[in-house]
Amino acid sequence: MAEALSVIPPAVLRNLADKLYEKRKNAALEVEGIVKQLAFAGDHDRIVAVISLLTTEFTYSPQANHRKGGLISLAAATVGLTTEAAQHLELIVPPVLNSFADQDSRVRYYACEALYNIAKVVRGDFIIFFNQIFDALCKLSADSDANVQSAAHLLDRLVKDIVTESDQFSIEEFIPLLRERMNVLNPYVRQFLVGWITVLDSVPDIDMLGFLPDFLDGLFNMLSDSSHEIRQQADSALSEFLQEIKNSPSVDYGRMAEILVQRAGSPDEFTRLTAITWINEFVKLGGDQLVPYYADILGAILPCISDKEDKIRVVACETNEELRAIKADPADAFDVGAILSIARRQLSSEWEATRIEALHWMSTLLSRHRSEVLIFLNDIFDTLLKALSDSSDKVVLLVLDVHACIARDPLHFRQLVAFLVHSFQLDNSLLEKRGALIIRRLCVLLNAERVYRELSAILEGESDLDFASIMVQALNLILLTSSELSEIRDLLKQSLVTPSGKDLYDSLYASWCHSPMAIISLCFLAQTYQHASTVIQSLVEEDINVKLLVQLDKLIRLMETPIFAYLRLQLLEPGRYMWLFKALYGLLMLLPQQSAAFKILKTRLKAVPSYSNSGEQWKRTPSGDLYQFHNVPDGSQTIEDGVIAEDGGSSRNGINFAARLQQFQQMQHQHRVLAKTQAKSRNISSSSTKEPKREEEPIKPQSVERNVTPSRSSKRGLGKLRL
């Protein structure tokens, strides 16, 4: 201390602490001259003493003016040292850096000024303090005083120039410092950080791309900043890095992919668009590096496919197609289970487009990695079944495609059909709204005959008779109306001719017994008209109810469609198709006379011309409505399909119609017993709700009489029945 006091005159020391800037400035110039002389003389001990005096007595003084003077004098001493300044930086710089946190804004301003002047002198030697200076500048960039901010900005520009020129700058030491500050929300700090990233990336010798994963998330975070300028700067920096990635032979896609996946789900639209754009490029460029991240990437893409922003949807769809086109192998860390898990989760999305693409992924995996997918079948099967109730027909059809892919082998086929029947049983609305769509699509994908045989086998043993009846009626209606089942209908027409037709007829018959109208329809398709007539004649009073009449109404209307054109043409040969006439007249006798179906069938029968054919004569009755049959050839009998059999009608392609009739009657007996039990339960329940003192009225059985004409109201109601 004494040495320094002996070198610096007391007047200079007084002026360094003066409140007037000019006096402090002049005193600093005196200090500069003194230090310059000492440096020229090589008296470094006294130089150290002078610096120590300025530091302890001035820069660390409690008086603001002393601190200001100390900062100016330290800068002046550095200027005086010129080339000798580097060896004294460890004494000069720390007090200046300490002053950046001073409470007095003017002191902070002079600290910026002092460090600026010091940096200009020492240039590259300044790098050893870079991290501390960067930290200080980061804080000063958000200073509350505009003058301090301006001074810090000038200092920042100088430091950037020095760093870009220096070969001593360590990017490895700088990156942790940068990473810690990337999530700061202050807009000034954000601008400061983006500025440094951009500058360092422009230096050829500094590999910022290699450290991009360390600060990529912070840059994406800035894309949603409220300041347009910051968003623009962050976007510009990201665009530059993306271009470098395209041109770089070696990039760490994995770490960045994790960040992009998170940012693709950002609530900010611009952030989502940028993230999905990066993912798109990564999928094109990443190759094998991205295989372990496919599931995560898919999880980010699928929701974006339904994004409200058009640009995002377009890029997401393109990325999805690019990703699906890559044929990765499980041996290369391709996780089929993870992909399936993502697709299953996205099946619950509220957006149709996302659900559709999730199903496309399931189909793709089944086609490429079927054995691996079947391992996870239990994880996705329930979700796929629930998806059959989806509000979108497109989704339901794709779900069926997936189910069909799974059901190629017999075990999973039976499991699928059984689950479908069970689902229809649990959810009647599913059968009502989507039953036809589901069954028709499965018939296209899995062979109609195979599907119907399996359904029939399941329903044959169904214990819930009401459900079985409803299900058979639905299947029968689909069989009669769907173009997809035309081959089955053609095969059934050969029931009396070919073994395959007979086998299908027998297979369906067992379950079709649950519904009288279904059996009659089946007989009409198979042209087993005599058996149809026998079935109609076997119906008892309990069978003829409103439900049966509704089904009969549908059948009569269906008989007017092109599917039954062959049957209507057979009416032109009344002698050959005697049992067809008898069956149709049997149906006519069951219908209420005032119903629309009665009038339709009666009109059709009246349209048959009266003529003779091969000795067989049909003559109209005097009323002109009915026909009478005369003159059957001796030794012959007309059987099913109009074939004249010489053996008395015993040859019917191996179909035992007597056994079939017994089977039908037994099944209908079970239905009648169930109906009586249900009616009894309802009556008991109804009786228990009446008042105790009120006399119970006897319950009158209600049924539809075979030939009783309905009341006017019932006529009107049945006449309005429609398909």
pTM, entire model? 0.75
Q: For tokens 């820069």, name the residue.
A: 59
Give the pLDDT confidence score for residue 717 in this predicted structure: 37
Which residues of the chain have a pLDDT value below 50? Answer: 612-618, 620-639, 641-651, 691, 693-723
Give the pLDDT confidence score for residue 102 in this predicted structure: 93
Give the pLDDT confidence score for residue 614 in this predicted structure: 42
Tell me the domain boundaries of the chain: 1-167, 351-408
How far is it between the farthest Cα atoms of the chain?
Answer: 155
SS3 630: strand
Amino acid at 451: V
Give the pLDDT confidence score for residue 545 in this predicted structure: 86
**CA angle at 311 for the pair 305 and 317, rounded to the nearest 5°:** 35
Give the pLDDT confidence score for residue 1 in this predicted structure: 57
Give the pLDDT confidence score for residue 720 in this predicted structure: 35
Give the pLDDT confidence score for residue 331 in this predicted structure: 72
CA 81 to chain centre: 70
Give the homologous superfamily in CATH for domain 1-167: Leucine-rich Repeat Variant (1.25.10.10)
Give the pLDDT confidence score for residue 3 in this predicted structure: 63
Nearest CA among 59, 1, 12 for reference residue 34: 12
Give the pLDDT confidence score for residue 688 in this predicted structure: 65
Over residues 153-164, the pLDDT tens digits come to 999 999 999 999
SS3 618: strand
Give the pLDDT confidence score for residue 217 in this predicted structure: 94
- 627: which strand partners? 620
Q: What is the DSSP letter of 627?
A: E
Give the pLDDT confidence score for residue 690 in this predicted structure: 55
Give the pLDDT confidence score for residue 550 in this predicted structure: 92
Q: How far apart are CA 418 and CA 416, in angstroms?
A: 5
Give the pLDDT confidence score for residue 44 in this predicted structure: 87
CA distances from 518 to 421, 508, 511, 548 (A): 18, 10, 9, 10
Give the pLDDT confidence score for residue 682 in this predicted structure: 80
* Count of Cβ atoms closer than 10 Å to residue 709 Cβ: 11
